Amino acid sequence: MLTDLAATEKDVKNIYKVGLNTTRLLMASGDVVVGYLLLKGAAVAAEKLETAPAKDKAFYTGKIAAAKFFAANVLPGVTLARKVAEGVELDLMELDEAAF
């Protein structure tokens, strides 16, 4: 998006690409932050798992499993969001207002 923003010097219409991708960027950023927090929690859980009392082992195992699940099933969507953002076209923005 920063590249598109900088490209507005050559063609002001590139600002539309920034607007079209704003929600995508916010959602992907949220996924990255959640992934980081889950990873941080899983790291702590992995350290404590071996010495934890029996009643806490399930909790720590769950923390690790949740982080693995998120990394395998949600975080790949961040790569997809980036590819979609990089390939966004301005066709929608060039429609006449009467089309809406």
Interval 75-90: pLDDT, tens: 999 999 999 999 999 9
For residue range 15-45, list pLDDT tens digits in order. 999 999 999 999 999 999 999 999 999 999 9
What is the C-alpha to C-alpha distance for residues 62 and 80, in angstroms, rounded to an integer? 27
Q: Quick one: average pLDDT of 8-12?
A: 89
The answer to whether the pTM exceeds 0.85 is no
Type of residue at 99: A
Give the distance, in angstroms, between the CA of residue 47 and the centroid of all CA atoms in the same chain: 27
Neighbouring C-beta atoms of residue 17, cutoff 10 Å: 21
> Could you give the C-alpha distances from 62 to 15, 42, 67, in angstroms and in order?
44, 9, 9
pLDDT at position 57 over 90: yes
Neighbouring C-beta atoms of residue 67, cutoff 10 Å: 21
